[in-house]
Amino acid sequence: MSKTIEVTELILRDAHQSLMATRMALEDMIPACEDLDNAGYWSLECWGGATYDACIRFLNEDPWERLRTFKKLLPRTPLQMLLRGQNLLGYRHYEDTVVDRFVEKAAENGMDIFRVFDALNDIRNVRRAIKAVKRAGKHAQGTICYTTSPVHTIGGLAELAEQLLDLGCDSICIKDMAALLKPKPAYDLVRAIKESCGEQTLVHVHVHATTGVTLVSLQKAIEAGADIVDTAISSMSLGPGHNPTESLVEMLEGTEYNTRLDKARLLKVKDHFAKIRPRYQEFLSNITGVETEIFESQIPGGMISNMESQLKQQGAADRIREVLAEVPHVRRDAGYPPLVTPSSQIVGTQAVFNVMMGRYKVMTGEFADLMLGYYGACIAPRDQEVVKAAIKHAKKDPVSRRPADLLKPEWDELRAAAIALNGCNGSDEDVLTHAMFPQVAPKFFATRHEGPRNLGKDPAAAKAAAASAPSAAPAAAAVPKGPVNYEVKFNGKAHRVTVTPA
Amino acid sequence: MSKTIEVTELILRDAHQSLMATRMALEDMIPACEDLDNAGYWSLECWGGATYDACIRFLNEDPWERLRTFKKLLPRTPLQMLLRGQNLLGYRHYEDTVVDRFVEKAAENGMDIFRVFDALNDIRNVRRAIKAVKRAGKHAQGTICYTTSPVHTIGGLAELAEQLLDLGCDSICIKDMAALLKPKPAYDLVRAIKESCGEQTLVHVHVHATTGVTLVSLQKAIEAGADIVDTAISSMSLGPGHNPTESLVEMLEGTEYNTRLDKARLLKVKDHFAKIRPRYQEFLSNITGVETEIFESQIPGGMISNMESQLKQQGAADRIREVLAEVPHVRRDAGYPPLVTPSSQIVGTQAVFNVMMGRYKVMTGEFADLMLGYYGACIAPRDQEVVKAAIKHAKKDPVSRRPADLLKPEWDELRAAAIALNGCNGSDEDVLTHAMFPQVAPKFFATRHEGPRNLGKDPAAAKAAAASAPSAAPAAAAVPKGPVNYEVKFNGKAHRVTVTPA
């Protein structure tokens, strides 16, 4: 008897987030919805992650309206989102009642499956969101961020799965954001979870394709008993994205496993996005092939190009390999956090500073917070010398409590701040938008009436425009010798840092 | 105990043949040779296939000089070539002593491992070449062209392996030129060969990456006992090319298998070709992602773009899906040949004609030859109605003998023709060049003294040139209504075909 492997399609969220900086306009997705909804997917990931931010920051689009539209156009297939636990979709911790409100509103607007994760795998940071999902009667998926280090073990990660199930999770996701999950640990981890949590435990495997090896990992995960896997339609797959849905279908055909996907529908979805993709040429990741060096640095594909551009701004593009080699040191000092938003940016940016200025001569506020426990707990102890430096830099004490416990009830204040804004419609949804993106929301509220912007361009026109633009600037001069000001962009916020060489 | 899986690196031959139309200049490969030679490969495929043709047709480079250069720069690692059996590297059958001479000269100039195949899997077409390789004291690798059809079975393909071993082959290659080998049949076929031929039989697996699933097939082939696999360095991998070497290494790490490849060397090779690749932008395949539709049509990736351009010339670019649907019909009528050079071109071009003109209203000379046995025997009987049409078109009778048996000794004649040419140096190597490419060799001999041409271009300059060129021509008008002349390019030869609609 053949086992059906269920599939979550990522095209509407993580695929375009990973391949084209989350820029795809809703109108470019709508024509594919009927085929997506009838192809036989277990779920369609279509919201959360960076989509909310991108909607209001770049697309002048209300993310809640996007969610409602999906619900209307995808009535048969459960909708799925990615939620960063206590951070929601923003970049700080929110007080518990804000978390409750967000989950409630997302459920009300049509969300069915909530994949909840914490970048540090600190279970205290996902508990409240998971409880809220259960209260809303929706599917709570607890997430293990997959990483490797001298302190991470298969047994330890499986233990985390048990804790997530204790919180009431309906399924467990193994989230491999940097394509680090090789075939053998994929098998071993799924087996360990099934053995410690029970064979009936639903295990869902999310892998990226960056290292070229993770379709094999999916095969092995399936052999170990995984129930659901994530893929993206082939025309929006590979590179820093995901394995192609159609390849998974073919991989399993004729074996003791099968998918229930309709190939004719998939072909139509593929063709649609093959036409759309070239319209976003200017946003496409410049990583198109395979990168196996990230097994060492663990920096997700998208983040590498980010660091490259930070280095370029500082005239040091050629030092990327030094930075990649520095990342594991910074990670060890921080207690081996998994590298995923926001820890990947925090660790990556600090590695850039360490290489450029000397180790911990300059420290970002975020890295100091990470070292001081303000993002939560890591699996291993932090380096005490670096903690001391962080205390000095940030002028605050380390904490060991759950970060959100430091917050006072804030909903009324957040509400008051939002409704005072021009264009805010007074809804809880708008309050949440402003709460999560206080710097972006005011402009969005003010321009929302103009309607969504489609940043896609006719490829021929874009090509002509690019050709008439001046070619790449010559490499900047060597590393500066005197005091110098840097503007560091971090999570979309600009930081000014002045550095005087020692 | 861990089993070492040996690896053949394809970068110097099939990788650039599949990804950039075989255009890479020798000088762009030379800087990587030291690392390639010391990385721990079982062999380096670097000659044969389309490289010979490309050298003299496009690069003004003597292919024999290329071979000698490789031998000098790659002293530690065996060199490997792809040989099309009785066709050598040309597009017709050669008389046996020409085959002997070619193999002898290739061995003398440095070739170590000869992968010998016939497009139809007709063992009579590989026997002479295999015997010649053995006589030269070199490694003869017998090849099974992998294909699927209602008449192909795992048992039948394994039986072919037995016949190849009977001829004295040192190893067996499963050659999956169109990325059709799914994980399960990969396992089953390797197992069947090992069981029928003995576990000690060396099995070498060659797969392309086009369908996105074949790294999993390599994993399964290895689990079934495969000894050697083909991959290409990551910066020249995927798409219609091959699986990335580095991903294979990572796939096996920590399992009961390992490779003996040196990752630091691989990284240097990768970096080198990452810099070279953009120089050949204009030759890069426009298939970059995954194509799973070819499980139906079986047309290799490179051939699809070929057919697309044939259709475009005829103002019918939108009919590609019809053509792909026609291919299986043509293949059935021809007795289910595997589709690989030259059968892929023959069947593909006939499918284009069938769609454009009606089934077999127009027939290429090559397709008639295929139907009449002039390329050898296929596994299944041919359609008798189509055979009759072929007899009428070609005005010749079907044959059942080995095609080369129809040929008279031809070496002296070939020699006389070659040495009469301006610039021919009188060597057997030059005679072979002219014998295989009689239309191209004269010009090559005449211009050889000018030295090799490097068709690579600085990407920035190429971009500017492309932008100033007029954009793509508007789609041509509809299918012509009256008599019309077509120029059909086939194996580099132009054919004129006049068609009057019925």
SS3 content of chain B, % helix, strand, coil (to 5): 50, 10, 40
Interface subset of B 415-474, CB within 8 angstroms of A: 460, 463-464, 466-468, 471-472
Predicted pLDDT at B484: 44
The answer to whether the Cβ–Cβ distance between A216 and B215 falls below 8 Å is yes
- In which residue ranges of chain A is pLDDT below 70? 301-302, 305, 465-502
Nearest CA in chain A to B219: A216
B150 touching chain A per CB within 8 A:
no
Q: How far apart are the first and last CA of chain B?
A: 70
Chain B residues whose beta carbon lies within 8 Å of the beta carbon of residue A212:
215, 234, 237-238, 243-244, 246-247, 250
Predicted pLDDT at A310: 80
Nearest CA in chain A to B216: A216
Chain B residues whose beta carbon lies within 8 Å of the beta carbon of residue A244:
212, 289-290, 292
- DSSP character at residue A334: T
Rounded to a whole number, what is the distance in Å from the CA of B292 to chain A's nearest CA? 6
Where b means 16+ CB within 10 Å and e means fewer, B404-421 reads beebeeebeebbebbeeb
In the structure encoding, which two tokens stand for residue B274, read together?
């990452």
ipTM, 2 decimals?
0.89
Cα(A110)–Cα(A115) distance, integer angstroms: 15
Predicted pLDDT at B315: 87
In the structure encoding, which two tokens stand for residue B386, read together?
């189509």
Q: Where are the alpha helices (DSSP H) in A202-342?
A: 214-223, 245-252, 263-276, 294-297, 301-313, 320-333
The answer to whether the Cβ–Cβ distance between A213 and B291 falls below 8 Å is no
In the structure encoding, which two tokens stand for residue A240, read together?
């820093």
Q: Which residues contact A405 (CB under 8 A, 6 or more apart)?
A: none
Q: Does residue B126 contact residue B86 with C-beta atoms inside 8 Å? A: yes
Q: Does residue A47 contact residue A111 with C-beta atoms inside 8 Å? A: yes
Rounded to a whole number, what is the distance in Å from the CA of A235 to chain B's nearest CA? 7
Q: Does residue A303 contact residue A267 with C-beta atoms inside 8 Å? A: no
B237 touching chain A per CB within 8 A:
yes
The answer to whether the Cβ–Cβ distance between B183 and A255 falls below 8 Å is yes
| Residue found by looking up tokens 């008599």 in the block | B483
In the structure encoding, which two tokens stand for residue B17, read together?
């043949």
Give Dmax over CA atoms of chain B in angstroms. Answer: 71
CA-wise closest residue to B9 among A322, B35, B27: B35
Predicted pLDDT at A315: 87
The answer to whether the Cβ–Cβ distance between A291 and B234 falls below 8 Å is yes
The answer to whether the Cβ–Cβ distance between A250 and B290 falls below 8 Å is no
Q: pLDDT per residue over B35-87, tens digit each?
A: 999 999 999 999 999 999 999 999 999 999 999 999 999 999 999 999 999 99
In the structure encoding, which two tokens stand for residue B472, read together?
């793509």
Of B211, B463, B472, Cβ closest to residue A250: B211
Q: Across-strand partners of A143?
A: A173
In order along its 502 residues, chain B shows pLDDT tens digits of 799 999 999 999 999 999 999 999 999 999 999 999 999 999 999 999 999 999 999 999 999 999 999 999 999 999 999 999 999 999 899 999 999 999 999 999 999 999 999 999 999 999 999 999 999 999 999 999 999 999 999 999 999 999 999 999 999 999 999 999 999 999 999 999 999 999 999 999 999 999 999 999 999 999 999 999 999 999 999 999 999 999 999 999 999 999 999 999 999 999 999 999 999 998 887 777 888 888 888 877 667 767 887 888 888 888 988 998 999 999 999 999 999 888 999 999 999 999 999 999 999 999 999 999 999 999 999 999 999 999 999 999 999 999 999 999 999 999 999 999 999 999 999 999 999 999 999 999 999 999 999 999 988 877 776 666 544 333 333 333 444 444 544 455 554 544 443 3
Chain B residues whose beta carbon lies within 8 Å of the beta carbon of residue A247:
211-213, 290, 292
CA-wise closest residue to A266 among A32, A10, A27: A32
Question: What is the DSSP annotation of B467-497?
Answer: HHSPPPPPPP-S--SS-EEEEEEETTEEEEE
Interface subset of A 276-295, CB within 8 angstroms of B: 288-293, 295
Q: Does residue A422 contact residue A401 with C-beta atoms inside 8 Å? A: no
Predicted pLDDT at A472: 40
A390: enclosing H helix or E strand? helix A384-394
Of B213, B235, B467, Cβ closest to residue A250: B213
Of B184, B247, B472, Cβ closest to residue A212: B247
Predicted pLDDT at B482: 44
| Residue found by looking up tokens 């390639």 in the block | B36
Interface subset of A 46-105, CB within 8 angstroms of B: none
Cα(B394)–Cα(B369) distance, integer angstroms: 8
In the structure encoding, which two tokens stand for residue B22, read together?
């075989």
The answer to whether the Cβ–Cβ distance between B290 and A237 falls below 8 Å is yes
Cα(B17)–Cα(B198) distance, integer angstroms: 34
